[in-house]
């Protein structure tokens, strides 16, 4: 009795006596969260095993509120509560708006992430034909259990891993295994869930369901990936560093000012808001906006970004692991130059080959379709004058097809065959051609081509071989050029495919990708001890891998990541989904399955990989904008935090004041109202969102975050601004005394009131911050690159707004209690002009200091040979030419692709 017969008999018995569940197991399955009935619990147990636990539902309201809880939101809540206790309604309202915006952005950014598992489930067959109690019925595929007898017909998507019954079927499992052609499976063979039946009508027994299937294991790999994006890690490092520094300084400030007798709640409020301003709270908003603008630009180029932080990771990508079939190649069989024997012509060869193939639409396999279309379109062969009397389909036992045809015009009847060259050659029994055919077959096999021998019978009924037809899956027209551009941009391209090693090597040869192509045996338990020891270095140096399965792709990506590589992965099938999810940048190519698209970070909707080059180019521009913003924002934070720390701890305004009836006694501690700090923060972060549209240069090599460089330049810029602010404050306080100061008197200024000094410092800090961005955005002198229009307009508007606000200050509101901070007073236009001139001088000093610091870093990295993420290419004109050449080439390639698709009309 065959194995299939035993399973078929057992399946009937299984449904009469389903798998037994203990009361404890049944209670575990039927939790209130799951809502399972007894029957559903039993089916889930049979499908997924005793560890199948129901998923707990997450309340969407609680999920949304979770974005308002964390280190950053907690500090804002603390400031809100303090302002509420002080009855400072204006400060309270502004902080509430700030909290809502910050939480909403975080929720909106994450709401569409992590949906790969659902897409995997949706790609399964919804229905299945199953035989139960001796009757065929149609049920949901999710209700199948091991042992069910199912029917499989042409076009069916397999609902589970099944063991085939008597007969054979052609199964397309390319989306699962990466094989470019349908495979033939016979009785006893296992076929995978999610595959498509291309030919056959037979029964099968369910061998595995749910997480136990080949498909389910892929889904489990996808679910196991919970890594945090690199941008989030960088932002957390920056925020955590600033948080520690600001906390220490804020505690010192609070202690000192409290000892001096200041209002405790007011001092606490200032310290908390200083911490909020120092993190900084809007960094995520600004970076998300910058990346969203880039994502919109990529969408116009037919590249859809599903995870914004992937743009930053794309800019730093060093290795691109690419699937072969359908990605580097066209995923369609193409005829290579055929080999002819004796006096036969190409037309004779494809006439016989076409007669030995199925020619009806819908019943053709990939080889039959390729051969007949080539014969009709290229060789102008007509099959209409021939009648098929008998046809023997391909059988792995005889390894060929055979047809008996009659020439309707001459009445001649003959046989045609195509199949394995060795088999066809043996049938012909012609020693004169054996050496030539064998040599060509071996040569084509070494190059990875699939070869067909073609023969027909003559008048005597003897077989005569006409020649060889070689088939291959050709690379896309733009793939070779795309790979070369990727290499020029510092990317290492690795091909990863499920096809045979010989095919992979030939494809790599055609693309100039390299000849170090390894078999997946290196990643299996059968690998030798030496191979396992050298595995990491082999994977790092390899140009590609062949005959891989999903777990192999996943492992390759993981090993490369362990070696501190930023890995990108392209693919189109379910088998690529785990690696796409694991990779730093998962890229689903045109025509990808829903599962691959859901697992990917970037989805391409244009054939080929050329759009990836433009995506990398644009990602590097976006990276530069985010890096420039971080430098600017840390510089502003440093200036603000250190300035208030020194002034509140070390400066007593009363030591500078001259007391008379016209001037009120200033406080013991210099501090600005909470509202002014919030305004400074909002204007800085709100205005600098325009950096998303700024003009930047692009690095020739992959970008990486160098926090030492970023913090050093930021502290330098902030330090110059801080020193100038301290000097202006000391001059302003000294000018309150009788007679003023000689310097300010020489400029024509009279004595200032304390409220005017506060407003002057507010304006100085605002203008200084807005000017700092122009120095922070350039690695060289600030005038070497013009700013984007939006950035220029927004910063100018903010500077004009703060100037007008300072000259007509009116935001003095009672807090409902005692306050140790006096009201601010409007300043004259002449004082505002004085502040502007001082800020311009300081800005020039900032830029000089930054330029020489950048040169020092560049020289250090050049001498030490270290990769500090600092590319001198951005300082040269030659790289601008490189960028332009890349851009022109992309436009040209896109125009060619569009013209080929009929999108352009000439």
- Partners of 348 in beta bridges: none
Given 148, 156, 323, 368, the catalytic residue: 323
Q: What is the pLDDT of residue 327?
A: 75
- According to CATH, the topology of domain 282-297+616-875 is Calcium-transporting ATPase, transmembrane domain (1.20.1110)
**How does pLDDT run across 383-442, given as a tens digit for each residue?**
888 988 888 887 767 788 999 999 988 888 999 999 988 889 989 988 888 888 888 888
Distance, in Å, from the CA atom of 637 to the CA atom of 632, rounded to the nearest integer, reads 9
Q: What are phi and psi of 758, to 5 degrees?
A: -60, -45
Say what the pLDDT of residue 99 is.
66
Distance between CA 407 and CA 351 in Å, rounded? 12
SS (HEC) of 147-185: CCEEEECCCCECCCEEEECCCEEEEECHHHHCCCCCEEE
Backbone angles phi, psi at 412, to 5 degrees: -70, 135
Q: Is the pLDDT assigned to residue 353 strictly greater than 70?
A: yes
- Look-up of token digits 């001096």: 260
Distance (Å, whole) CA 506 – CA 515: 9
CA 670 to CA 653: how far, in whole Å?
6
pLDDT at 603 (0 to 100): 83
- The beta strand positions in 278-399, using DSSP E, are 303-305, 319-323, 334-335, 339-340, 386-395
Span 195-221, average pLDDT: 75
- 323 assigned to active site: yes
Q: Which tokens belong to 228?
A: 């945090």
Tokens of 86: 């002080």
CATH classification (class only), 334-472: alpha beta
pLDDT for residue 732 is more than 70: yes
Q: How far is CA 461 from the centre of its chain?
A: 62
Query: Counting every residue, how long is the chain?
Result: 906
How many Å apart are CA 423 and CA 568, to the nearest integer? 44
At 481-515, the pLDDT tens digits run 888 888 888 888 888 887 778 888 888 888 888 88
Burial of 807 from C-beta contacts in 10 A (0-12 / 13-18 / 19+): middle
What is the C-alpha to C-alpha distance for residues 762 and 768, in angstroms, rounded to an integer? 10
Containing 613, the helix (H) or strand (E) segment is helix 610-650
Distance of CA 218 to the CA centre of its chain: 19
The average confidence (pLDDT) of the chain is 75
- Picking from 641, 664, 654, the residue whose alpha carbon sits closest to that of residue 725 is 641
For residue 289, name the pLDDT band (cuts at 50, 70, 90).
low
Radius of gyration of the chain (CA): 36
Mean pLDDT (whole number) for 264-270? 73
Pairing of strands 196-199, 168-172: antiparallel
Mean pLDDT of 897-906: 35
pLDDT attached to residue 885: 45
Query: Residues 41, 208: contact at Cβ < 8 Å?
Result: no
Question: Distance between CA atoms of 349 and 339, rounded to whole angstroms?
Answer: 9
Cα separation, 775 vs 632, whole angstroms: 8
Name beta bridge partners: 465: 455
- Arithmetic mean of pLDDT, 704-715: 87
**68 against 574, higher pLDDT:** 574
Q: Say which range, 326-330, 468-472, 623-627, 702-706, has the weakest mean pLDDT.
A: 326-330
- CA dist list (Å): 595 to 181, 194, 218, 576, 806: 20, 11, 10, 9, 57
> Which residues, including other chains, have CB under 8 Å from residue 210's CB and lie 6 or more apart?
47, 48, 52, 216
pLDDT category of residue 877 using cuts at 50, 70 and 90: very low
pLDDT tier, 546 (very low <50, low <70, confident <90, very high otherwise): confident
CA distance 100 to 107: 11
336 pLDDT more than 70 = yes
Say how many CA atoms lie within 13 Å of 326 toward its Cβ: 24
Higher-pLDDT residue of 138, 294: 138
Give, in degrees to the nearest 5, the angle at Cα 763 between 759 and 766. 140
pLDDT at 368 over 80: yes
Give pLDDT, residue 503: 80
The Cα–Cα gap between 805 and 683 comes to 13
Considering only 275-284, 460-469, 645-654, which range has the smallest mean pLDDT? 275-284
Higher-confidence position of 54 and 626: 626
In 94-124, which positions are buried (b, 16+ CB within 10 angstroms) versus exposed (e)?
Answer: bbeebbeebbebbeebeeeebebbebbeebb
DSSP string, 102-159: HHHHHHHHHTT-S-HHHHHHHTS-SEEEEEETTEEEEEEGGG--TT-EEEE-TTPBPS
CA 681/CA 98 separation, integer angstroms: 10
Q: Name the residue ranges covered by the structural domains of the chain.
A: 3-56+118-223, 282-297+616-875, 304-331+475-605, 334-472
Q: Which of 335, 605, 301, 330 is nearest to 477 (CA)?
A: 330
The set of residues, in sequence order, having a beta carbon less than 8 Å from that of 67 and lying 6+ positions away, is 73, 103, 104, 106, 107, 110
Give the pLDDT band of residue 517 (cuts 50, 70, 90): confident
Q: Which of 60-64, 198-202, 597-601, 782-786 has the highest mean pLDDT?
A: 782-786
277-286 burial, b at 16+ Cβ within 10 Å, e below that, comes to bbbbbbbbbb
Is the pLDDT confidence value at 712 over 80? yes
Q: Mean pLDDT over residues 252-268, rounded?
A: 76
Query: Smallest Cα–Cα separation from 779: which of 834, 697, 891, 866?
Result: 697
Q: Please state, in angstroms and as integers, the Cα–Cα distance from residue 760 to each residue in 254, 473, 771, following that order.
A: 24, 72, 16
Phi/psi for 323 (5° steps) reads: -70, 145
Domain 304-331+475-605: which topology? Answer: Rossmann fold (3.40.50)
Q: Does domain 3-56+118-223 have CATH number 1.10.10.60?
A: no
């Amino acid at each position: 009795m065959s194995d299939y017969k035993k399973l078929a008999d057992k399946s009937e018995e299984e449904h009469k006596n389903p798998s037994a569940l203990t009361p404890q197991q049944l209670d575990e399955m039927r939790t209130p969260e799951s809502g399972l009935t007894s029957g559903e619990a039993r089916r889930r147990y049979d499908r997924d095993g005793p560890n199948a636990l129901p998923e707990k539902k997450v309340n969407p309201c609680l999920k949304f509120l979770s974005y308002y809880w964390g280190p950053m939101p907690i500090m804002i809540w603390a400031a809100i509560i303090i302002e509420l206790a002080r009855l400072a309604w204006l400060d309270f309202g502004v902080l509430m708006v700030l909290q809502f915006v910050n939480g909403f952005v975080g929720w909106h950014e994450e709401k569409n992430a992590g949906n790969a598992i659902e897409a995997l489930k949706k790609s399964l067959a919804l229905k299945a034909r199953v035989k139960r109690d001796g009757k065929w019925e149609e049920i949901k595929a999710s209700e199948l259990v091991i042992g069910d007898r199912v029917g499989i017909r042409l076009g069916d998507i397999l609902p589970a891993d099944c063991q085939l019954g008597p007969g054979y079927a052609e199964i397309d499992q390319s989306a699962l295994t990466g094989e470019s052609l349908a495979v033939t499976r016979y009785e006893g063979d296992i076929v995978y869930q999610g595959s498509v039946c291309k030919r056959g009508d037979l029964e099968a027994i369910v061998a595995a369901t749910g997480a136990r299937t080949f498909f389910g294991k892929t889904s489990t790999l996808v679910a196991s990936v919970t890594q945090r994006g690199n941008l989030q890690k960088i932002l957390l490092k920056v925020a955590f560093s600033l948080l520690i520094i600001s906390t220490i300084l804020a505690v010192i400030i609070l202690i000192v000012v409290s000892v001096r007798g200041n209002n405790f709640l007011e001092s606490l409020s200032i310290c908390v808001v200083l911490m909020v301003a120092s993190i900084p709270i809007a960094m995520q908003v600004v970076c998300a906006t910058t990346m969203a603008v880039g994502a919109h630009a990529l969408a116009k180029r037919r590249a859809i970004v599903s995870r914004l932080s992937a743009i930053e990771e794309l800019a730093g990508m060093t290795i691109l692991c690419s699937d072969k079939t359908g990605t580097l190649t066209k995923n369609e069989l193409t005829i290579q130059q055929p080999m002819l024997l004796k006096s036969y012509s190409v037309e004779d060869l494809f006439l016989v080959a076409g007669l030995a193939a199925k020619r009806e639409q819908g019943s053709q396999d990939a080889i039959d379709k390729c051969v007949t279309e080539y014969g009709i379109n290229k060789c102008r062969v007509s099959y209409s004058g021939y009648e098929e009397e008998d046809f023997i389909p391909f059988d792995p036992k005889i390894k060929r097809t055979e047809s008996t045809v009659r020439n309707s015009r001459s009445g001649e009847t003959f046989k045609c065959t195509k199949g394995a060259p060795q088999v066809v050659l043996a049938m012909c029994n012609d020693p004169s051609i054996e050496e030539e055919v064998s040599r060509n077959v071996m040569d084509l096999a070494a190059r990875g081509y699939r070869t067909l021998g073609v023969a027909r019978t003559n008048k005597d009924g003897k077989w005569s071989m006409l020649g060889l037809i070689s088939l291959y899956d050709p690379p896309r027209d733009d793939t070779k050029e795309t790979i070369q551009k990727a290499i020029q941009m510092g990317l290492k391209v690795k091909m990863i495919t499920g096809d045979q090693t010989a095919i992979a090597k030939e494809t790599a040869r055609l693309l100039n990708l390299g000849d170090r192509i390894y078999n997946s045996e290196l990643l299996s338990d059968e690998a030798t001890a030496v191979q396992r020891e050298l595995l990491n270095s082999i994977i790092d140096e390899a140009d590609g891998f062949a005959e891989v399965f999903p777990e192999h792709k996943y492992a390759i990506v993981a090993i490369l990541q362990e070696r501190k590589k930023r890995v990108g992965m392209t693919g189109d099938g379910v088998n690529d989904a785990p690696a796409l999810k694991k990779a730093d940048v998962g890229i689903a190519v045109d025509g990808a399955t829903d599962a691959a698209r859901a697992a990917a970070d970037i989805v391409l909707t244009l054939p080929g990989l050329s759009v990836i080059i433009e995506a990398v180019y644009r990602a590097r521009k976006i990276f530069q904008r985010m890096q420039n913003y971080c430098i600017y924002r840390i510089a502003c934070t440093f200036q603000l935090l250190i300035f208030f720390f020194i002034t509140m701890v070390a400066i007593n305004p009363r030591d500078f004041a001259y007391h008379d009836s016209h001037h009120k006694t200033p406080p013991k501690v210099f501090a600005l109202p909470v509202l002014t700090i919030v305004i400074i923060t909002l204007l800085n972060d709100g205005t600098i969102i325009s950096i998303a549209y700024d003009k930047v240069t692009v690095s020739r090599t992959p970008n990486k975050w160098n926090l030492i460089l970023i913090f050093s330049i930021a502290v330098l810029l902030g330090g110059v601004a801080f020193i100038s602010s301290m000097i202006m404050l000391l001059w302003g306080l000294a000018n309150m005394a009788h007679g003023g100061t000689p310097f300010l008197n020489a400029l024509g200024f009279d004595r200032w009131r304390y409220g005017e000094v506060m407003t002057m410092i507010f304006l100085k800090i605002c203008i200084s911050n807005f000017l700092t961005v122009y120095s922070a955005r350039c690695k060289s002198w600030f005038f070497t690159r013009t700013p984007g229009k939006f950035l220029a307009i927004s910063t100018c508007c903010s500077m004009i707004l703060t100037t007008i606000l300072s000259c007509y200050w009116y935001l003095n509101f009672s807090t409902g209690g005692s306050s140790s901070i006096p009201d601010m007073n409007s300043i004259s236009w002449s004082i505002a002009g004085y502040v502007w001139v001082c800020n311009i001088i300081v800005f020039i000093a900032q830029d000089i200091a930054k330029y020489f610091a950048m040169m020092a870093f560049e020289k250090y990295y050049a001498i030490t040979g270290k990769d500090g993420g600092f590319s001198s290419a951005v300082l040269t004109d030659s790289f601008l030419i490189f960028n332009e050449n890349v851009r022109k080439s992309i436009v040209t390639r896109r125009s060619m692709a569009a013209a080929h698709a009929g999108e352009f009309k000439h």
